[in-house]
């Protein structure tokens, strides 16, 4: 599809029609002021909390619109199918249940059991096949062809793009002085839909797409080979869509990238300051602002779309530890002590008396230069900040541990 044709392939009328179709299930999610970001930049910055959407992400908008079209055509008995191990799968399963359309979802072997169970809870049949998303998509295409089911692509479909565009209508309705929208960019369905909606209504609004640096095809980077390891796995799409690619070229003003550290910091900031649980793909817009990859609008309000909140719970402890260490609230030390009863208790007592809370301790005897009657101790403590950490270390040195090694950054 040419860029010229892209301008009219999904219209504002399509988006308005989608709004009526999806309203029974998709929620109108709130706009939340970010005091932290607004004070930092001295300009109004708000967050569109799509992480609070049904199924935890914006995907229900496009899925509902697509499945409604299938039902209207009388193809409910034939059913719908797709390949996904994440937000699109859950959204399609819920939309299919709402419209009483049979749904079959193909996922790669080893996909998260919580997401598989969520799809099954909505009545979808889930089939594990292959080792990658590409394998699962190939199986879904074959099933659609053999059984005349409708393949519901996660983003490369005009009905999906129009459905995602309903989010843009809400932005224009709810933010009278909207000047800039910062939106996560993966396959392009959300960014294209939002851009079509807001720029058709207010052409001067800037729309900026944000990609993860490790997988940023819209930013001109070549697709990495093999699996992509990123916190923003929900937008780790290796190539622009055949349908969405030209839409992005036509409607989106700018594309930027953010690295993994910035994404991690944004996720923690949203939990800590905004009290919002946002997945990596949903936090890239905040990461772009915090790293100055994006500057907020000089006049008017900048809105950052938090596209999803389906965080892998296993990631959270690591994110918190990383943040605490960076903020100077974790003190990690290595000490040599006599290998005799009471030595460890004495060492830990010194730190306790100085107000440090023990998190973890372990002996290390291998690979360390120790006297035959010594043992190494590696310990992690919670402290109140870098100043407190320095005082704790000084207290330990004065108490008889002058060779204490500090591994954390003070």
For 222-274, list the strands marked E by DSSP: 254-258
One pLDDT digit (tens) per residue for the chain, 410 residues: 655 566 678 999 999 999 999 999 999 999 999 999 999 999 999 999 999 999 999 999 999 999 999 999 887 788 999 998 789 999 999 999 999 999 999 988 877 788 889 899 999 999 998 877 788 889 999 999 999 999 999 999 999 999 999 999 999 999 999 999 999 999 999 999 999 999 999 999 999 999 999 999 999 888 777 778 899 989 998 899 999 999 999 999 999 999 999 999 999 999 999 999 999 999 999 999 999 999 999 999 999 999 999 998 888 989 988 888 888 899 999 999 988 999 999 999 999 999 999 999 998 877 677 877 888 899 999 999 999 999 999 999 999 998 899 976 66
Token pair for 372: 């035959």
Task: Give the pLDDT of residue 409.
Answer: 65
Task: Give the pLDDT of residue 345.
Answer: 94
Task: Give the pLDDT of residue 1.
Answer: 60
Task: Give the pLDDT of residue 370.
Answer: 81
> How far from 404 is each of 210, 324, 355, 361, 362, CA to CA, in Å?
44, 21, 17, 15, 15
Q: Which residues of 228-239 are buried (b: 16+ CB within 10 A; e: fewer)?
A: bebbbbbbbbee
| Closest-CA residue to 83 (of 102, 109, 98, 105) | 105
Task: Give the pLDDT of residue 194.
Answer: 98
Task: Give the pLDDT of residue 171.
Answer: 98
Is residue 337 a contact partner of residue 375, using CB atoms and an 8 Å limit? yes
What end-to-end distance do the CA atoms of the chain give, in Å?
A: 55
Is residue 395 a contact partner of residue 350, using CB atoms and an 8 Å limit? yes
Chain center to CA of 110? 20
Is residue 92 a contact partner of residue 113, using CB atoms and an 8 Å limit? no
Query: Could you tell me the domains of the chain?
Result: 3-58+165-318 (3.40.50.1100), 61-151 (3.40.50.1100), 328-406 (3.30.70.260)
């Amino acid at each position: 599809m040419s860029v010229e044709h892209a301008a009219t392939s999904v219209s504002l009328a399509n988006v308005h029609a989608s709004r009526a179709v999806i309203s029974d299930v998709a929620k109108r999610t709130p706009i939340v002021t970010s005091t932290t970001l607004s004070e930092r930049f001295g300009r109004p910055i708000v967050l569109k909390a799509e992480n609070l959407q049904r199924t935890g992400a914006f995907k229900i908008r496009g899925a509902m619109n697509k499945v409604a079209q299938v039902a209207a055509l009388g193809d409910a008995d034939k059913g719908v199918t797709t390949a996904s191990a994440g937000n699109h799968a859950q959204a399609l399963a819920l939309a299919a249940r709402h419209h009483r359309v049979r749904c079959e979802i193909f996922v790669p072997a080893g996909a998260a059991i919580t997401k598989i169970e969520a799809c099954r809870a909505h009545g979808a049949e889930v089939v594990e096949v292959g080792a990658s998303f590409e394998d699962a998509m190939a199986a879904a295409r074959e099933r659609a062809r053999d059984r005349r089911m409708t393949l519901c692509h996660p983003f490369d479909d005009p009905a999906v793009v129009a459905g995602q565009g309903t989010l843009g209508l809400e932005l224009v309705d709810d933010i009278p002085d909207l000047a800039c929208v910062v939106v996560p960019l993966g396959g392009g369905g959300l960014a294209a839909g939002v851009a079509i909606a807001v720029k058709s209504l207010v052409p001067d609004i800037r729309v900026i797409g944000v990609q993860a640096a490790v997988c940023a095809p819209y930013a001109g980077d070549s697709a990495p080979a093999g699996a992509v390891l990123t916190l923003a796995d929900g937008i780790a799409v290796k190539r622009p869509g055949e349908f969405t690619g030209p839409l992005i070229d036509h409607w989106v003003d700018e594309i930027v990238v953010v690295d993994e550290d910035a994404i991690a910091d944004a996720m923690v900031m949203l939990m800590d300051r905004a009290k919002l649980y946002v997945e990596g793909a949903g936090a890239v817009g905040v990461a772009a602002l915090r790293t100055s990859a994006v500057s907020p609008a000089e006049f008017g309000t900048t809105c950052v779309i938090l596209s999803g909140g389906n965080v892998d719970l296993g990631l959270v402890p690591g994110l918190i530890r990383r943040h605490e260490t960076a903020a100077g609230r974790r003190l990690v030390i290595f000490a040599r002590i006599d290998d005799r009863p009471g030595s460890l208790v004495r060492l830990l007592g010194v730190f306790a008396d100085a107000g440090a809370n023990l998190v973890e301790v372990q002996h290390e005897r291998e690979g360390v230069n120790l006297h035959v009657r010594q043992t190494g101790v590696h310990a992690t403590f919670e402290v109140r900040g870098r100043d407190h950490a320095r005082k704790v270390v000084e207290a330990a040195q004065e108490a008889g541990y002058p060779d204490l090694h500090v591994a954390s950054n003070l």
